[in-house]
Every structure is written in C-alpha cells, then in structure tokens.
C-alpha cells in the first residue's frame, strides 16, 4: 500500500483525500436518490452535505489531535494536514450529528426524521472512507497469526508501530502481516447499507432508522477493535471506541423500543375498529 496517488512537482495527491472526496460524493448521490420520495431537491441535499462535511471533518480531526496530542505538540505544522489522513470516526460522527441537529432547527424539520434520512448515506460513505484508510495505512490491524494479512511498506504507520514494539528492526523492508481491519470494516458497512436503505424506505417511526444503525454498526466496530494494532486509550478493560460502541448500542435499542411503543397504540386502535 502506498499513500501517494500522484506527485506533480510540489503538488502531492494522497489516496486518503481521493477516497474522502469519493465518500462524500457517494453520500450526496445517495441522498439525491432517496430524497425524491420525500419531496426534497438536490439543493436541500447539497446544503445538508456542506454542514455535515464541515462538522464531520472538524469533529474527526479534533478527536484525532486529542488522541495524538504529544505528536502534534512536537509537529504543529501538521495539524491541518488532512490530506495525509488523521480522522477518528466517532469524533466525526458526533460532529455530523450536531450539524444535522442545527440544520433541522434552522429548517424547522423534525430532528429524528432528518437524522434517519442522513443515516441512509453513512454506511456507504464510511465504507469508501475505510478504503482510504487502507491506502494511507492508518487504522491498521495487529500482527496476524495464521490469518490472511496485509503488509505495509517501510516508513508506514504499521511499520513504525512494530518498530516501537520491538517486533521488527529499522532495516525491515515492510511491516509484519497485519489484520486488514479497514477492509473488514468497509465490508461490514457495505452489508449495513442495503439494510438501512430498506428500513428507511418502509413506513417507520421517526428515529427507527437511526436506532437500527446505532444498534448494528457498533457491533462490528466493537468486535473489530480487538484486532486493531494502533495505540489506543482504555476505559477499564475496554478501549474508548468499544466503550462508545456499547453506549451507542444502548441508545439504538432505546430508539427502537420507543418506536415499537409508539406503534402499539395505533395497532390496538386498528384491531379494535369495526370491520
């Protein structure tokens, strides 16, 4: 894997930036397609995308800077080097949720209904973003023992981490094989994409699609977190990402339960109505 797509003199184009752009474009295209049934136009989708994109990037970058505070304290010039990678998903997730909330208030749209709409694009965009992680070499896995693994070249983040742990020497041409957790997570998101779309296109209580995503995605993230090789922060026996995953699953379950309770009176009324 090589992080650079093209180098033209002083201009360097990174794979990470390309796949970030593809992720937002794919999400935008999906919103336009889904919005037709809701009576929303492309301008609505474009406005929503702008705020979600800005808030998502700022949130993801802020979380990454906090988790790597020491490095960026020594390298302040790289704080804005987004084209080189360096976003934490859950940080971007929180930023995007805040953007949807503010957008909903500004447009006087029910927040949960708009959030359901926004989530129809998230698995697809996230999958493409994880492909960018593979190409850049961030979010890499732990050393793979007896499993299919991928190697990263000399100077990559995985290579540097394995030197730090004493697993390889500085003259190693590449890292040891590691779990391709970025690919696993991309596949998990691609599996979720049609499920979330199907749920949205059915009649649903506002918040049900959001609840379904919050219940399903964190399951994959929780399990895959155990295969990560990056340095992580822990809250007791769980990493911060696993702790957040558990919290999001609880929120998702509550939203789905809320939807079931909201439908129950309607069902009772319909069954009691005269034939």
Per-residue pLDDT of 115-135, as tens digits, reads: 999 999 999 999 999 999 999
Q: What size, in residues, is the chain?
A: 275
The reply to whether 163 falls in a domain is: no
The reply to whether 27 falls in a domain is: yes
The reply to whether 200 falls in a domain is: yes
Domain extent, residue 66, equals: 4-142+179-260
> What token pair was written down for 221?
């993230």
> What token pair was written down for 104?
């909903």
pLDDT value for 264: 60
The reply to whether 172 falls in a domain is: no
Q: Tokens 């301008």 appear where?
A: 43
Read off the pLDDT of residues 53-106 as tens digits, 9 standing for 90 and up: 999 999 998 888 887 777 787 778 888 777 666 788 999 999 999 999 999 999
Percentage of the residues of the chain whose pLDDT score is greater than 90: 67
Read off the pLDDT of residues 262-271 as tens digits, 9 standing for 90 and up: 766 554 444 4
C-alpha span between 123 and 100 (Å, rounded):
16
Q: What's the domain count of the chain?
A: 1
pLDDT value for 83: 62
Read off the pLDDT of residues 148-158 as tens digits, 9 standing for 90 and up: 899 999 999 89
Q: 265 or 171: whose pLDDT is higher?
A: 171
Report which of 75, 82, 65, 76 is spatially closest to residue 14, judged by C-alpha positions.
82
């Amino acid at each position: 894997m090589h992080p650079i797509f093209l180098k033209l003199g002083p201009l360097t184009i990174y794979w990470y930036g390309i796949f970030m752009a593809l992720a937002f474009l794919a999400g935008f295209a999906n919103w336009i397609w889904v919005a037709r049934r809701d009576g929303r136009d492309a301008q609505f989708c474009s406005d929503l995308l702008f705020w979600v994109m800005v808030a998502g990037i700022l949130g993801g970058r802020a979380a990454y800077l906090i988790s790597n505070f020491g490095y960026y304290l020594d390298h302040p010039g790289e704080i804005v080097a987004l084209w080189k990678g360096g976003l934490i998903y859950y940080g971007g997730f929180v930023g995007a949720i805040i953007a949807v909330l503010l957008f909903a208030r500004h447009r006087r749209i029910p927040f949960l209904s708009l959030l359901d709409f926004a989530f129809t694009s998230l698995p697809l965009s996230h999958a493409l973003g994880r492909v960018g992680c593979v190409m850049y070499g961030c979010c890499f896995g732990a050393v793979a023992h007896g499993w299919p693994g991928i190697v990263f070249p000399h100077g990559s983040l995985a290579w540097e981490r394995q030197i730090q742990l004493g697993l390889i020497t500085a003259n190693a041409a590449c890292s040891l094989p590691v779990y391709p957790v970025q690919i696993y997570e991309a596949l998990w998101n691609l599996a979720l994409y049609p499920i979330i779309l199907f749920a949205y296109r059915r009649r649903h209580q506002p918040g049900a699609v959001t609840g379904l995503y919050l219940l399903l995605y964190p399951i994959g993230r929780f399990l895959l977190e155990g295969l990560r090789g990056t340095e992580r922060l822990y809250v007791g026996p769980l990493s911060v990402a696993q702790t957040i995953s558990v919290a999001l699953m609880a929120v998702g379950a509550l939203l789905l339960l809320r939807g079931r309770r909201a439908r129950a009176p309607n069902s009772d009324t319909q069954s009691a109505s005269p034939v």
